[in-house]
Structure 1
Amino acid sequence: MAKIRLTKEFRFEMAHALWNYDGLCKNIHGHSYILQVTVIGEPCSDENNPKYGMVMDFGDLKKIVKEEVVEPMDHSIVVSEKADAEKLLGVPQMTERYHITPYQPTCENLLVDFSERISSKLPEGISLFSLKLHETGNSFAEWYASDNA
C-alpha cells in the first residue's frame, strides 16, 4: 500500500520573550502563529472499518494538536526558566496563561517541543512527518522526522 501524507493547519496567538537575546525580541511580544502538522501512514484497507481509505481522520488529528499545542499555548506567554519569571509574570490578572520552558522559546525550539507532544499521541501506524511553524507572515521554521532519526 502507498504511504500518504496528511497536513492540517492550526492558528493561535502567543507571546514570548527571548532571555539574554541581543535584539528586540528580548522584550515580551506576540505572534499570530500558523502551525502546519503533517503525518504519514498507509490508508486503512479494511472495508469494514469506518476509517476505510483514510490514513487518519482529520478530526482525530485536529483533536490531538488542539489538546497538545493549541489550547495550552493560545493566548499565553512563554519564557525560558532562566528568566526571572516571578518578576516578569508578576501581575496575576494579566498572566494567567504562561509557560516556563527549560529551553529558549524560539520558533525552532517550540517545534522540537511540539513534535514530542504530538508524536506521543499519534495512533499506531501513523508517524509525524513534519511540522512548519510560521512566526510571522514571512518567517518560519520547519522540523522533519527524517532529519531527527
Structure 2
Amino acid sequence: MSIIRVTKKFHFEMAHALFQYDGLCRNIHGHTYNLEITLLGEIRNEPGHPKDGMVIDFGNLKQLVKKHIVNKFDHSLVVNSLFPAEHIEAFKKATERLIVLDFQPTSENMVVYFAKILQQVLPSNVSLFSIRLYETATSYAEWFASDNE
C-alpha cells in the first residue's frame, strides 16, 4: 500500500478590493491567480479497473475544482460584506459577477475558504493535503491539512 500526493494546477482571473486597507489594494484591482490543489490517497490496486493505478482521476479532480471554485470565482469581483450598502449596490451595477464574502478576500482567507469547500465535495478515498494560491508570480498563500487538525 502506497500513500501518494497528487497535484493539479488551475488558473483564473479575479478582482477584489480590501475593505479599509491602508494601501493601494483598497481599490478594485485584479490578479491572475494560480491555484494548486494537492490530494493524499492510496493508489487504487484493482487490475482491470479503468482507474487502476490512480489516487484520483485528474479529470475528476479538474471537474470538482472547476465546478466549486474556478467557474464561480473566474472573472468575478470579490469584496468583504463590511463595505457600505451603497458600495455593494454600486458593485452590483458594475458587474454581473459579484461575490460578497463575510471576510477580507485576501489570498490567506481564500485558501481557507477553498479548503472548506473542497473538504465537503472530495471523494471519501482521498483527503485534501494542501492548497497553494498564487496572487502574483512571487506571492502566494498555502493551507496544509496537517496545520489545521
TM-score by length of 2: 0.95
* Aligned equivalent of 2:27: 27
* Alignment partners' CA distance in 2, 1:84 and 1:77: 16
CA distance in 2, matches of 1:79, 1:11: 20
| Higher mean displacement: 43-52 or 31-40 | 43-52
Unaligned runs of 5+ in 2: none
Q: Is the 8 A contact 2:129 2:145 kept in 1?
A: yes
Residue 104 of structure 1 aligns with which residue? 104
Structure 2 counterpart of 1:76: 76
Residue in structure 1 matched with residue 49 of structure 2 by the alignment: 49
Mark the runs of 5 or more structure 1 residues left unpaired by the alignment: none
TM superposition shift of 1:23 = 0.8
Deviations 1:28-73 (A, max 9, x none): 1000000000001001112242111100000000000000100000
Q: Is the 8 A contact 1:85 1:100 kept in 2?
A: no
1:123 corresponding residue in structure 2: 123
Aligned residues: 149
- Measure, in 2, the Cα distance between the counterparts of 1:94 and 1:124: 41
- Which digits, 9 at most, give the CA deviation of each residue in 1:60-117, with x for residues without a partner? 0000000010000000000011012542452656310011001110000000110111
CA deviation vs aligned residue, 1:105-137 (integer Å, no higher than 9, x gap): 000000011011111111112000000000001
**What is the CA–CA distance in structure 1 between the aligned matches of 2:84 and 2:134, rounded to whole Å?**
27
Percent identity among equivalent residues? 50
